[in-house]
Structure 1
Amino acid sequence: MLKEIQVYFSLEFLNSIFVKTCNLKDFYRFIIANFKKLSFGWVLTFLSSFGQTFLISLYVPEIIKSFSISEGTFGAIYAGCTVTASVIMLSLGHNVDHKPAKTVTAFSITGLAIASILLGFSYHFAVLILAIIMLRLFGQGLLTHISMTLISKIFDKNRGKALSFSSLGFSIGEAILPILITTIISFYNWRIAAICSGVLLLFYLIKLKFTNLDHFDEQLISIKGNSTKKMVRNYKEIIFNRKFGIIMPAVFAVSFINTAVFFYQYIFVEEKQWSVTLYASFFTAYAITRLVFSLFGGVWVDKYTAKKLFRFYLIPLNIGLLPFAFMDSILGALAFLILAGITTGISGTVKTAIIAEIYGTKNLGAIRSIFTMFMVISTALGPLLVGLLIDNNFSVSTILLCLSILLILVVFNSQRIGKIEK
């Protein structure tokens, strides 16, 4: 009964906000008019799920058993592989600026398919490490990067709505794929599940062969001589620029905190002696909130600009950490999940739109690859650092308070965005 009441009021509340702030008919017309382009972005974010932590984590218990390693050892391996993938990402991300969309997409899909199949056949430790690096590189890294970059380039006036629709692939992947993968694992084993994932990706290549993506290639820029080396030299200039110092901490913080908290959420819940089953049911509210606010984010970016939203979108997550840390009632966890869903939903659009607004779209692939690299690194460092705090007997309240203080500093830093011109 509690779950039904929770879902009902969540839906009613979010629906009332959406009706007041968004023109549903305009959004619907925009989607219908541009469905071919938007669906391509949506599919890529959906398929990126095969390299995301939430899906890879389903294999972890069996991988640990198969290789006779501890959870801590695998955590360190996973962090190392993720960081390695992020560094490689920096050398590949710029290709979306000057190579046809079909070429870079086929390359990434093929790499992710091979990675999934390698994971299924990873009887040697070296193969396991290679598979994880490739999963993180081609899945979380390149497919997400290609989708967000191409959509940002082709849409200007309605960039926010376009990005928000494309980012729904993340939510759908989180809803569908864990059920599919766990079902295959329960009937067969984790290796078969990984191989099936790779085969599914290869089937998409057949569809891609007959998909016309020429409309994404209109803004390609030519590459001459050693322009790649020049771009690498320019990375230092970009990183030490004031713009980067304002935008990067916010991009880093969302992934860092979300990954860290969700990675250890059940440890936190058990320490507070809350019902794990009831907490798990609260994820319905999180999923609904994230899904709806990913649409809000798109509409608001088009209406108010990403620069204005950038100053405030981290605040709900920051507020949500406090009841999770200090409330004795499990309703504190529900408050966190709803508020985290707001920030996470909006961030999917804002993080890419702000880069396009500030830096322009000409070299968006190269510039965004730098941000993607640091974002991927944050997903490795979050669980690693929080895990060290747990190992050193820091309480849940202390850990979450530290994360909240960190986020407050980032929010203050984000206020400087108003002084930055494109």
Structure 2
Amino acid sequence: MTFRTLLRRDGPVLGYGFAFTFGSSVGQTFFISLFIPGIAVAVSMSETRLAAFYGVATVASAMALPWFGRLIDRADIARYGLMTGAALAVGCWLMAAAINPWMVLAAMFVLRLAGQGLMSHVGLTGVARYFDRDRGKALSLTGLGHAAGEGVLPILMVTAIAVLGWRMTYGVAGAVVGLALVPLATWLILNNPVFRRAKGAEGASGVRQPNPLLRSGAFWAHLPLLLLSPLTVTALIFHQGLIAQSKGLELTVFAAAFAAFALVQIPTSLIVGPVVDRIGSRGPLLLHLAPLAVGAGLLATFKGAWAVWAFLALMGVTNAAGAILRTAIVAEWVAPARMGEARSFLTALMVLSTAIGPALYGVLMEAGVSVSGLLWLASASTLAALAPGVIYGLAVRER
């Protein structure tokens, strides 16, 4: 089935998923970071201390995510989505009203849990469990919401902050998501009981079962492949200033090159989805770190601005492919009735990896590892992450 046919047949469902992945931007690192200078001044905190608060909030949200995320398996997704949108709006309004560090910490926790965690969870889990066929294509279209947010919102928010101030801008963002985007998306699927139905409600025994991923050998063998991309991408983006300095480049070179990071994710998503439908997720998962490895190696070797553009473009390919594959392969490992529980557990681990990455790379730099050394480490670690999955595949094939 072509993308056009899929959109014509299931446009409302795909629009719902896209709206939630796009709306998740409000709780993503790239969005929140735009407001950090204004927040730091408003509550008399250094940006270093704010970064520490952000790390604490991210870890806390990752710990809470499996509990909240599994509820989607027994809830009407329309109601669950509305509650998620409302929580994200509250987080935005709390941040807009913050007058002390503890209000900032609370707001960051809500934004990370409801935004990066649950908004994406609603869109991707709902679409993944609804589509048996053409799941890869459906996830490709849904995941474009992330690329759209990364491509459109930074310049829009910077402009709005300059005109309205950071508090008003965050308040308006909360109103747009909670009072407009999510209700409109919900309207699209109101008359679709199959999509809305809680898959886990059927045959519920009342006995709490272990998370299905915990008993999956395939999951543990492929876990390094699933987590290395978010860890490395977040770490390298977080330390982009030091990377630019080591290359003798202005930070504006990285800022401009982020256009490549966002733009390449669109064709990548549209390519990876059909490939998953044709051959499954495991093969593409084994290969999806290769662009990141090549990009990090190029930036470690060369100093020109073109190397930054190439690095971010190749990193964008890995980022887009990984976003699809992390959901698609869980759908292959787990029954639809427990998709939310399984995917929220993996997402929590992913969020933890994004908190660990910048700190780990920072410790290595303080220990004397050069920026080029870190980039070569990022490149080489992709091979290390690949090994358990390859060994597992060979062992299964020989049985």
TM-score (norm: length of structure 2): 0.92
* 2:190 equivalent to 1:214: no
Deviation at 1:275, TM superposition (A): 4.3
Question: Which whole-Å CA distance do the structure 1 matches of 2:150 and 2:39 have between them?
Answer: 21
* 2:97 equivalent to 1:134: no
Partner of 1:112: 88
The C-alpha deviation readout for 1:266-316, integer Å capped at 9, x for no partner, is 320121102444443333333222211011111111111111211111111
Distance 1:208 1:321, change over 3 A: closer
Contact 1:310 1:414 in 2 (8 A): no
Distance 1:240 1:249, change over 3 A: farther
Deviation at 1:388, TM superposition (A): 2.7
Q: Report % sequence identity.
A: 29
Contact 1:48 1:144 in 2 (8 A): yes
Question: 3-state DSSP class of the match of 2:199?
Answer: coil
Question: Which whole-Å CA distance do the structure 2 matches of 1:305 and 1:60 have between them?
Answer: 41
Question: Which whole-Å CA distance do the structure 2 matches of 1:355 and 1:102 have between them?
Answer: 22
* 2:29 equivalent to 1:29: no
* 2:79 equivalent to 1:103: yes
* 2:163 equivalent to 1:184: no
Question: Which whole-Å CA distance do the structure 1 matches of 2:2 and 2:392 have between them?
Answer: 29
Distance 1:402 1:208, change over 3 A: closer
Question: Which whole-Å CA distance do the structure 2 matches of 1:336 and 1:246 have between them?
Answer: 28
Partner of 1:157: 133
Question: 3-state DSSP class of the match of 1:273?
Answer: coil
Question: 3-state DSSP class of the match of 1:157?
Answer: coil
Counterpart amino acid of residue 108 in structure 1: T
Task: Give the alignment partner of residue 29 of structure 2, picking from 42, 50, 53.
Answer: 53
Structure 1 segment 167-178 matched on structure 2, within 5 A: 167-178=143-154
Question: Which whole-Å CA distance do the structure 2 matches of 1:57 and 1:255 have between them?
Answer: 17
Question: 3-state DSSP class of the match of 2:53?
Answer: helix
Deviation at 1:69, TM superposition (A): 2.4
Question: Which whole-Å CA distance do the structure 1 matches of 2:128 and 2:186 have between them?
Answer: 23
Q: Structure 1 residues 28-37 or 330-339, which shifts more?
A: 330-339
| Aligned length, in residue pairs | 392
Contact 1:297 1:347 in 2 (8 A): no
Question: Which whole-Å CA distance do the structure 2 matches of 1:202 and 1:328 have between them?
Answer: 44
Question: Which whole-Å CA distance do the structure 2 matches of 1:225 and 1:299 have between them?
Answer: 37
Distance 1:197 1:364, change over 3 A: same
Contact 1:264 1:383 in 2 (8 A): yes
Distance 1:91 1:162, change over 3 A: same
Partner of 2:237: 262
Question: 3-state DSSP class of the match of 2:248?
Answer: coil
Counterpart amino acid of residue 363 in structure 2: L
Task: Give the alignment partner of residue 353 of structure 2, picking from 378, 381, 390.
Answer: 378
Which consecutive aligned stretches of 4+ in structure 1 deviate over 6 angstroms post-superposition? none
Distance 1:63 1:342, change over 3 A: same
Deviation at 1:218, TM superposition (A): 4.1
Partner of 1:360: 335
Instruction: Let me know the Cα RMSD of the aligned residues.
Output: 2.1
Structure 1 segment 268-417 matched on structure 2, within 5 A: 268-416=243-391
Partner of 1:16: none
Contact 1:79 1:384 in 2 (8 A): no
Distance 1:414 1:331, change over 3 A: farther
Unmatched runs of 5 consecutive residues or more in structure 1: 1-24
Contact 1:49 1:174 in 2 (8 A): yes
Counterpart amino acid of residue 158 in structure 2: T
Unmatched runs of 5 consecutive residues or more in structure 2: none
Deviation at 1:206, TM superposition (A): 4.1
The C-alpha deviation readout for 1:231-269, integer Å capped at 9, x for no partner, is 4xx13x743642221232222111100111111113201
Q: Structure 1 residues 343-352 or 271-280, which shifts more?
A: 271-280
Deviation at 1:142, TM superposition (A): 0.6
Counterpart amino acid of residue 387 in structure 1: G
The C-alpha deviation readout for 1:74-108, integer Å capped at 9, x for no partner, is 22111110010011111111111111011110110
Deviation at 1:226, TM superposition (A): 5.1
